[in-house]
Copies of this chain bind each other. A is one copy, B any other.
Amino acid sequence: MAEELFTTNGYASTSLDAIVAGAQVTKGALYHHFSGKQALFEAVFERVEADASKRIQKSLRGHQDPWEKARAGLRAFLGVVQEPGYRRIVIQEGPSVLGYERYREQEERSTFANVLEIVRAVLSAGPWELDEAMLQTFARIFFGAMSTAGESVSSAEDPIAAATRVETAIGFILAGFQALADAGVELPAGE
Which A residues are closer than 8 A to B by beta carbons?
10-12, 91-93, 95-97, 100-101, 104, 133-134, 137-138, 140-149, 151-152, 155, 161-162, 164-173, 175-177, 179-180, 183, 185, 187-191
Contact = CB atoms under 8 A, between A and B. Distances in A.
A138 B169 contact: yes
Helix, strand, loop or mixed for chain A's interface? helix
Contacts of A151: 100, 144
A100 to B, nearest CB: 6
A149 B100 CA distance: 13
A190 B175 contact: no
B140 A144 contact: no
8 contacts: A12-B12, A91-B95, A96-B97, A100-B155, A104-B152, A137-B169, A138-B169, A179-B179
Contacts of A12: 12
Given A175-B180, A177-B176, A179-B183, A169 B134 contact: yes
A180 B147 CA distance: 25
Query: Which among A95, A134, A162 has the highest number of chain B CB atoms within 10 Å?
Result: A95
A171 B134 CA distance: 13
A166 B167 CA distance: 22
Nearest to A150: B144
